[in-house]
Amino acid sequence: MFTGIVQAKVKVSEIGDQEQFRRLTLAVPVQLLQNLERGASISINGTCLTATDFSLMEPLGCVSFDVIDETLAKTNLGALSTGSLVNFERSLTFGREIGGHLVSGHVHGTATILAVSQTGANWRVDIELKPEFKNYVLSKGFISIDGISLTVGEVTAESFSLHLIPETLTVTTLGQRKVGDRVNIELDQQTVTIVDTVERVLAARNA
């Protein structure tokens, strides 16, 4: 479980393809790897991955993940190359402040950035609204984009908008995103549960 508050954007240092999976190795500031154990869950672009190996060499450590073909196909991790930047968040620990919202790291799918506009230091990003997501993306509701907890702005039949402050642009990879890029989407599970429950109840009453 994660908060959607990205701790850092880190660089892919190595990619190695194996049979039916790909090993991703990231260069990570060593302070973010303290007390890490093999098997720990880490969010990479909003995708929950299991740490298979790591090193604590100063000043940049590294951590590796084995990513299966299904994950590569259903997220934007398959498009990464050496030097790509990704959003990094360690899993939530007891007593830690939740500044965003609860994020599972189980990506529902991807969507394409349709427009990016800037007003002063603030950015607006418009993202396609796929039909399967329409019932769950609500204005002022939560959504996770590449592992970042964000509040939905305007919603239309084809898209939804995000309004990004300078801090988000600095700490995460969204400042480098451009039109046509594919981002990982995790819907707010509480919203999904409520909407699906209401639809089931209404369908039963009308049966």
Dump pLDDT digits (tens) for 91-113.
987 666 677 788 999 999 999 99
Architecture of domain 109-196: Beta Barrel (2.40)
Distance between CA atoms of residues 180 and 42, nearest Å: 27
Query: What are the structural domain ranges in the chain?
Result: 8-90, 109-196
Give me the CATH code for the 8-90 domain, please.
2.40.30.20
Residues in the chain: 207
pLDDT band with cut points at 50, 70 and 90 for residue 148: very high
Model-level pTM greater than 0.85? Answer: yes
Q: Do domains 8-90 and 109-196 have the same CATH topology?
A: yes
pLDDT band with cut points at 50, 70 and 90 for residue 33: very high
| Per-residue model confidence (pLDDT) at position 95 | 65
Average pLDDT over the chain, rounded to an integer = 94
Strands in 5-84 per DSSP E? 8-18, 21-29, 41-44, 47-55, 60-68
| Per-residue model confidence (pLDDT) at position 68 | 96
